[in-house]
Amino acid sequence: MIETTRRVWAEIDLEAFKKNLAVVSELSPNSKIFPVVKSNAYGHGVEQIAKSALESPARVTGFAVATIQEAIELHGLKLGRPILLMNGFVNREELRLCMELNVEPVIHAYYQVEIALELMSLKPMDGAARFWVKMNSGMNRLGMSAEDCKKALFSFKSIPSLEIVFMTHLAYADDMDNPKSLSFTDKQLSRFMQAEEAVAQEFDNKLEVSISASAGILTVPRAHRDYVRPGVMLYGSSPLAKRDGQDLGLHSVMTLSSRLISINKVLAGEAIGYNATFVCDRDMRVGTVSIGYGDGYPRSAGNGTPVLVKTSSRVIRTQVIGRVSMDMITIDLSEIQDAQIDDEVVLWGRELGADEVAANADTIAYELFCKVTRRVPLTYV
């Protein structure tokens, strides 16, 4: 697509991604890194992001995805790194596929243990493999009880060439200044470490462990352990409740932009857009921008959601007024008299963090990134 025909686009800054990966390395210098690239690398393009990760000096040991389909796609890129399948498998066929593709499944329920033991009794492994045994330490989403984890770990230990990682997931590590968050996380870690201690001797105290995703990497150093699984922080957004990505030294990777396609004068007392959610309190200069929820811009972005307008001489902040439509939004240009048709409008990115936009839209940056649709071409710099 040539420059002059673009109505909306997302620029992906791979150097910013590498800088965020370096932050992970600095925070967890003794941990191996499994970047999370599920949901097409949070909407950033899994192929380019994964290859960029391998170009960095960070200790990228493998990659993590959610679904078997994502694992198949990532395997097809021939990156030469293990693939962690965080949702695990649901039947023997999926496990067999994992073994063929060097995909490392999370074992989060005892039925999976039974499937694995049955399959391996029928067909011994040709080479090395690795399972990640997951304990439910308080998230109550995926994971086994401590007792079932112990049984699984002891059963798998008897299988030659099978490596084991013991893991859990922190549910509330994003607000550690809050006593409730601190207490909840301490309880999770206590439960997990008790379970770890119960099996450590059987593994000669060499059982590898993974606990931390983005929030834990940033707030719980004692939970970094052997492997960390950074997700949204790699893309420049904060997983923490009260701090944005810039506060944490992270760099925006995706900049979503569109263009002004109309500028109108709207009189005081007139309403803007569907359902008259904004009524002009004065005569206003109103711009229409060629982006909407059909492109992934959130319909929940209400009056006051910030945007940036790039005129020929400056970049100036203004706001959404009126309801987001499928293909358009309207913005206040009353104080930007030099704005013209075809000027660029930044919806989020380097100069306007996705965390701030998400807060105005009553959502999180994760959702903003993942909902960018295929109408939006990605360009890499």
Q: Region of 237 please: left (phi>0), alpha (psi -120 to 50) or beta.
A: beta
CA distances from residue 228 to 22, 25, 212, 339 in whole angstroms, order as listed: 13, 10, 5, 46
Say which residue the tokens 């673009």 belong to.
6
Q: Which entry of 38, 227, 293, 366 is annotated as an active-site residue? A: 38
CB atoms within 10 A of CB 257: 22
Q: Where are the beta strands (DSSP E) in the chain?
A: 8-12, 32-33, 63-65, 83-85, 103-107, 129-134, 162-167, 208-210, 227-228, 254-266, 271-272, 278-279, 284-289, 306-310, 315-319, 329-332, 344-348, 378-380
Q: Which entry of 123, 235, 274, 380 is annotated as an active-site residue? A: 274
Residue 265, helix vs strand vs coil:
strand
State yes or no: is 274 an active-site residue: yes
Nearest to 218 by CA among 201, 200, 235, 230: 230
State yes or no: is 78 an active-site residue: no
Residue 277, judged by CB atoms within 10 A of its CB (0-12, 13-18, 19+), counts as middle
111, 79 Cβ separation under 8 angstroms: no
Q: What residue type is 274 in one-letter code?
A: Y
The DSSP code sequence of 104-138 is EEEE-SHHHHHHHHHHHHHS--SS-EEEEEEB-SS
313, 339 Cβ separation under 8 angstroms: no
Return the half-sphere exposure (C-beta side, CA atoms, 13 A cut-off) of residue 67: 7
Nearest to 172 by CA among 144, 141, 200: 141
What strands lie across the sheet with 129-134, from one edge to the other?
32-33, 227-228, 208-210, 162-167, 129-134, 103-107, 83-85, 63-65
- Active centre residues (catalytic): 38, 274
